Amino acid sequence: MQQSDVITPKIQWYPGHIAKYERKLSELLKLVDVVVEVLDARLPVASVNHRLEVTIRNKPTLIILNKSDLADPAQNRRWQKALAGENRRVMLYDAKGGQAKAQLIQHVLALGEAAMQKLMAKGRKRRPVRVLVAGMPNVGKSTLINSIVGQKKTKTGHRAGVTRDTQWVRIHPEVELMDSPGVIPPQLDSDEAGALLATVSSIGDAAFDEEEVARFLIETIDRLYPGQLARYFKLTEGEAPTLENMALARHYKLSGDQPDLLRTAQALLTEFRHARPGRITLEHAQHTPKEPESGEAESRTRQAPEPTEPPAEI
């Protein structure tokens, strides 16, 4: 496919409930000791809300790379290292599986300890650590909270904008989490960030053209995981992974034998969102020389080839 054929769709989406919540955010931040910033592990850069990061500046932060079950395991490990910093811990999470919840609570307690010590130094009683769970729409904030409490305390859904107001949930005798609506800046950093967010449903689907976003997704996957989509759609040798060829391979046709491009685009987006073509990360971290390249259990489940270096030996 010619890269020049693909336009990066322009996307604008800023619903009223998000604007309202964003205005409230700086007040809420005064109430909390720790911020859990939930990112989509498939988009560890585009799903960062820079406005939110500026607002939370000095709060101890736990970055959760959520939906790590859908992302490329090798990239998961790299991003986990790349994003860590002072007063900033990073963990991989799968809110649907919810296995690492004890670890999550431990991180939050450790990050909140300084605030508790400060409180007690002023002669006040220790109280539960208060945590704001924040992040872009649909990254899994509410599912994460439910995974920890083991109950459906907060409403979840596969589209952006499900949580519309804030809600406190006690997740542990010493930890209270606040669920919050997904926040997206009124202006995204770039058209590319908007298009990437659309591929994972972090933007309401009425705000974008599925065919354009699907073409953008094909171009992005084919650049990072060459051949993967052609294999998944069972294209014949030498056939480029275009929406047209995928429609023909699936026999998705309109009357007059024209390829049904909309149906193909919708199928590709849905299947990608469930990682059916493989576990794919759409933004890749640079390789660091110290990183172990082989022998880790996770690499066994890896389905996608790594374009920047030879595949890990298993």
Ligand X SMILES: Nc1nc2c(ncn2[C@@H]2O[C@H](COP(=O)(O)OP(=O)(O)OP(=O)(O)O)[C@@H](O)[C@H]2O)c(=O)[nH]1
Residue least distant from Mg ion (Cβ): 163
Question: C-beta of 128: minimal distance to ligand X in Å?
Answer: 22
Which among ligand X, Mg ion, none contacts residue 158 (Cβ within 5 to 8 A by kind)? ligand X
SS3 47: coil
Q: Is the CB of residue 104 less than 8 Å from the CB of residue 149? A: no
The interface region with ligand X, picked from 71-79, 161-169, 211-219, 237-245 by CB under 6 A, is: 161-169
Residue 138 binds ligand X (CB under 6 A):
yes
Token reading at 168: 């406190």
The values of phi and psi at residue 50, to 5°, are -65, -30
Q: Which is nearer to Mg ion, 14 or 305 (CB)?
A: 14
The contact mask relative to ligand X for 263-282 (x = CB under 6 A, - = no) is --------------------
State which of positions 93-112 bind ligand X (CB under 6 A).
Answer: 94-96
Residue 70 binds ligand X (CB under 6 A):
yes
**CA-closest candidate to residue 55, choices 168, 135, 130:** 135
**Which residue of 8, 61, 143, 228 would you call a contact of ligand X, by CB under 6 A?**
143
Quote the CA–CA distance of 53 and 208 in Å, as a whole number: 26
The contact mask relative to ligand X for 33-52 (x = CB under 6 A, - = no) is --------------------
Q: Which is nearer to Mg ion, 64 or 218 (CB)?
A: 64
Q: Which is nearer to ligand X, 39 or 243 (CB)?
A: 39
Query: How far, in Å, are 108, 155, 162 from residue 151 at the CA level?
Result: 20, 11, 17
Which among ligand X, Mg ion, none contacts residue 242 (Cβ within 5 to 8 A by kind)? none
Residue 142 binds ligand X (CB under 6 A):
yes
Which among Mg ion, ligand X, none contacts residue 69 (Cβ within 5 to 8 A by kind)? ligand X
**Which residue of 34, 59, 60, 67 would you call a contact of ligand X, by CB under 6 A?**
67
Contacts of 288-297 with CB under 8 Å at 24 or more apart are 288/78, 288/81, 288/82, 291/77, 291/78, 291/81, 296/77
Please give the radius of gyration of the chain, using alpha carbons only, rounded to the nearest integer: 21
Quote the CA–CA distance of 136 and 299 in Å, as a whole number: 28
Handedness of CA 303, 282, 76, 65 (dihedral sign): negative
Query: By the criterion CB under 6 A, which residues form the site for ligand X?
Result: 66-67, 69-70, 94-96, 137-143, 156-158, 160-163, 181-182
